[in-house]
Amino acid sequence: MPFSDIPAHIENVCASAPVTCLIIKSTSSAPDAEIKGCGTTVARKDLLSHQQNTCPKTIVHCELHGMGCTYRGARETLPTHESNAALVHTKLMSRALITSQVLVEDLRAQVADLKAIVAASEIGSLHSMQAQINELQSLVDPSALYCFGGLASNDHASLSGAIRLMPTGWEPLPSMTVARKFTAATRCGEWIFVAGGQESSNAELAACERFHIKTRTWSKVAPLPSVRSCHAMVSTGARRLYATGGHASSANTIDVFDTLTNEWKGGPPMITGRLYHCSAAIGTRVYAIGGGRDHNMATAMASGEVLDTITNRWSPIAPMPTPRRNSCAVTCGDTILVLGGATPSGSSETLLDTIEEYTPATNTWRTLPWKLPGYRANFGACYHAPSQTLYIALGWPLLESNTSYYRRVPGGTEWIRMSTPSPGLASFGAC
């Protein structure tokens, strides 16, 4: 272009020229309204993206807008709104859950219809019909127990396999891209994330990957900021994951993963460093419970703590009746169940079959009158809310490493052993 046109090009057209976020065009019912921008300087080509996604002055809806929250305000006011409206948000999420349960019942009816069709169909159409059933079943049973990696009961080699325990039995899934043991897994929306762990050589990992439940495909995500194993991980909704504690230098640290930006950031250190602990989430609170201070079996703890993800602060909770490590925690309504594990016994440890229930509303524990079907540690567990069913599977000792059970909670009178044999696994990631 002519040299004389360059200033005008830079001033009005050039995509790389710096511009300042001064005015934001409103997208409200008054489209001509203008909002004062934040003053940040960005390239002209990035200005629209900045105002839509990061500018603190942009007027946005609450993240629970789809569930009925009517709040609209500057993006920078959302944390205050979320803190002030916690009770309202809880009620909205409860109402959405009830609606989801109605939809689940409709899906169950569809599954039953499809199974009836399959039973009456010729063999040539069975495969396509079964595929439809499996897809619907994955929606009906979103809390089926998923297990990833671990080590086989007869050696210490890390595994890359993935399996899912459904009401009908075990189902193999595509293998992970990395073999790992002493890893952690958690579900977040349609994805399951697996982070850290150890190789067969016991070298620790920072690698992370995610599994899409519907397409059954694996993809890599950003690695942990540092290696981590013998840790725990939970999600607080559809966006953030919290990896807590673990081996050696990471014992009192946490890493927080944003699934939208594919970034890990360090979180506030825990009050107590812990590994081989269990973790659960209720609403916006993350609980880290039990575990050990190090690999010494005599260091199992009864203590626990809770992270308020709104204020970003840890607080201690009442200790469990029994110190334990290598146990499982599941959220069961508005309480947390801590199952099995191991407790100190002299210089060694004793496996447990007891279950202890924590009620956050009263900050109290109680030992349940019913127990696991056997002593068990390093196993997997999940609670399926729509059917009020608790599943447990695999783990130590070797006698129990290939068994799985389920039980109705509440109302069940006994554990039912599943007829389908399980692969012998322990020290895997489960959710």
- We report the CATH number of the domain holding residue 167 as 2.120.10.80
Q: Whole-prediction pTM value?
A: 0.67
Do 321 and 397 lie in a common domain? Answer: yes
Task: Report the pLDDT averaged over residues 274-289.
Answer: 94
Measure the CA–CA gap between 18 and 10, rounded to whole angstroms. 9
Task: Report the pLDDT averaged over residues 363-386.
Answer: 87
Q: Which helix (H) or strand (E) holds 44?
A: helix 44-53
Overall domain count for the chain: 3
Close Cβ partners of 33 (under 8 Å, ≥ 6 residues apart): 26
Do 389 and 249 lie in a common domain? Answer: yes
Do 175 and 303 lie in a common domain? Answer: yes
Specify the pLDDT at position 250: 67
Do 167 and 203 lie in a common domain? Answer: yes
pLDDT greater at residue 306 or residue 154 = 306
Domain that holds residue 274: 142-430
Measure the CA–CA gap between 380 and 328, rounded to whole angstroms. 7
> Which residue in 285, 287, 265 sits closest to 277, CA to CA?
287
pLDDT greater at residue 336 or residue 410 = 336
Do 364 and 292 lie in a common domain? Answer: yes
pLDDT greater at residue 213 or residue 67 = 213
Task: Report the pLDDT averaged over residues 12-22.
Answer: 83
Q: How far is CA 263 from CA 98, 160, 208, 266, in A?
A: 33, 24, 11, 10
Q: Does residue 409 surpass a pLDDT of 50?
A: yes
Do 406 and 273 lie in a common domain? Answer: yes
Per-state percent for the chain, helix, strand, coil, to nearest 5? 20, 35, 40
Do 357 and 395 lie in a common domain? Answer: yes
DSSP state of 298: G
Last residue of a domain, one of 76, 110, 135: 135
Ranges 264-273, 363-372, 410-419: which has the least confidence: 410-419
Collapsing DSSP to helix, strand or coil, 346 comes out as: coil
pLDDT tens per residue, range 151-193 = 765 556 677 788 887 766 778 889 999 988 889 999 888 899 9
Do 125 and 195 lie in a common domain? Answer: no
Do 102 and 116 lie in a common domain? Answer: yes
Q: Does residue 314 surpass a pLDDT of 80?
A: yes
Specify the pLDDT at position 32: 45
